[in-house]
Amino acid sequence: MPFLENHHLARQMSQDHIAEASAKAGKRVVLGMSGGVDSSVAAHLLMEQGYAVEGLFMKNWEEDDGSEYCTAITDLEDARAVCEKLGLKLHTANFSAEYWDNVFEHFLGEYKRWRTPNPDILCNREIKFQQFVDYATSLGADYIATGHYVRRSGGLDTQQPFKILKGVDDKKDQTYFLQAVPAKQLEKCLFPLGDLEKTKVREIASDLGLANDKKKDSTGICFIGERRFADFLATYIKDVPGPIKDKQGRTLGEHRGLHYYTLGQRQGINIGGVAGRKERPWYVCAKQPQANTLIISQEQSDLLGDWLHADDANWLVEPSFPLKCHARIRYRQEDQACQISQAANGRLLVKFEQAQRAIAPGQYVALYDNDQMIGGAVIEHADKR
């Protein structure tokens, strides 16, 4: 009897596998190709799963073309080489105008408000999961795909509820960067790398003979590249110097412009030893825009806050308040226990069980229920209880 049961189970599993493969066969997937190892291996994995895969290289920046700061030309060459190796068609699209209007103008606007924006999150919402989705659909795609280290479950052709889950590799999990993307956009996307460690991805690339198997990960925004960030901002925002003071109001130096500094910053303050003070580092603990003053402190406690207000929330799961969950206020941070309530105007109040360091307005807070990302919002204000 056990043999018959096992035989029946094996036959059912085989039938399920055939049905799944049949459902994928002929389904057209347009994959965002960056020229990096992640999207390259994602293409291979999708092909193995039976999808009809095509690549799309997105150009998002026109300034500095051909300069040492932007790698777009090299990245396109790498993407073409991978597609030729794998036998894929590669499309190219220029979303530079959309990027300037919907991402870069916001980026500059936030700095002019003395806040700390995260253009990568906005780029995902406005470009990679908006313009890209629309363009791929015009090409006849059934789904889109990216090389993000994110898992999904349900949705698509299943009867299961759609969920976005953390990637298996906790050092590479990129759910934080997708928190602002509406669920209806994410539902159309496949994430082939979510169940893999980064080391395994490079190993697959090496086994395939891909020339970019050891290519370094992109760590910054293309239009900034390897140049000094302060020099880049100076091209677009006028410097307005002002005093640097401690919490007692004593002037210790002069700042270049409040937009160059973020809460918790230690480097670049240029304050040396101060008479009567201990030899400890100084940190940015506050900005006073009306007085054009930067406030610094040597006390770590001055950087702590245990609550924040957040706005412009994007929910992937319908919330019920008060909501107990976990949050991250920066990429690669460990999950922090919190409770969330909502004001009548929709603004969120997030109270943490443990005080958080350097909660920066303009940044994002991502919200989780264990491995599932349930939403996110833009940080507006933070303080101690």
Domains 238-298 and 302-383 share a fold: no
pLDDT tens per residue, range 128-171? 999 999 999 999 999 999 999 999 998 777 778 999 999 999 99
Terminal CA-to-CA distance of the chain, rounded, Å? 65
A 10 A CB-CB count for 73 gives 13
Number of C-beta neighbours around residue 219 at 10 A: 6
The 10s digit of each residue's pLDDT in 94-139 is 999 999 999 999 999 999 999 999 999 999 999 999 999 999 999 9
Q: Specify burial of residue 264 (Cβ count, 10 A radius: 0-12, 13-18, 19+).
A: middle
Q: Are 170 and 195 in contact (CB under 8 A)?
A: no
- CATH architecture group of domain 24-208: 3-Layer(aba) Sandwich (3.40)
pLDDT digits (tens, 9 = 90+) for 6-26: 444 444 444 444 444 445 667
pLDDT score of 279 = 78
Cβ-proximal residues to 304 (8 Å cutoff; 6+ apart), any chain: 355, 356, 357, 384
Catalytic residue among 70, 83, 123, 189: 123
Provide the pLDDT for residue 159: 79
Residue 358 falls in which region: left (phi positive, over 0), alpha (psi -120 to 50) or beta: left
Torsion (CA) 257, 263, 264, 266 in degrees, nearest 10? 0
250 vs 246: CA distance, rounded Å = 6
**Distance in angstroms (rounded) separating the CA atoms of residues 21 and 15:** 10
pTM score, two decimals? 0.90
For residue 285, give the nearest of 263, 305, 260, 269 by alpha carbon: 263
What is the topology classification, in CATH, of domain 238-298? SH3 type barrels. (2.30.30)
Partnered with residue 324 across adjacent β-strands are 339
Q: Is 70 a catalytic residue?
A: no
Tokens linked to 271:
């304050």
Answer whether 191's CB lies under 8 Å from 128's CB: no
Give the pair of three-digit tokens for residue 19.
């049905």
Catalytic-residue membership of 189: no
CA separation (Å) from 2 to 6, 10, 11, 286?
A: 6, 12, 14, 69
Sorted by where each begins, the domain ranges of the chain are: 24-208, 238-298, 302-383
* Residue among 70, 83, 189, 222 flagged as catalytic: 222
Q: How much is the pLDDT for 293?
A: 98
The dotted CATH code for 302-383 is 2.40.30.10
Whole-number Å distance between alpha carbons of 377 and 345: 14
* Residue 101, token pair as written in the block: 């209007």
Give me the average pLDDT of each 10-residue run along the chain (385 residues): 45 44 74 95 97 96 64 89 97 95 95 94 94 96 97 84 96 97 95 97 96 83 70 92 95 95 92 74 95 96 96 96 98 97 94 97 97 98 82
What's the confidence (pLDDT) of residue 378? 98
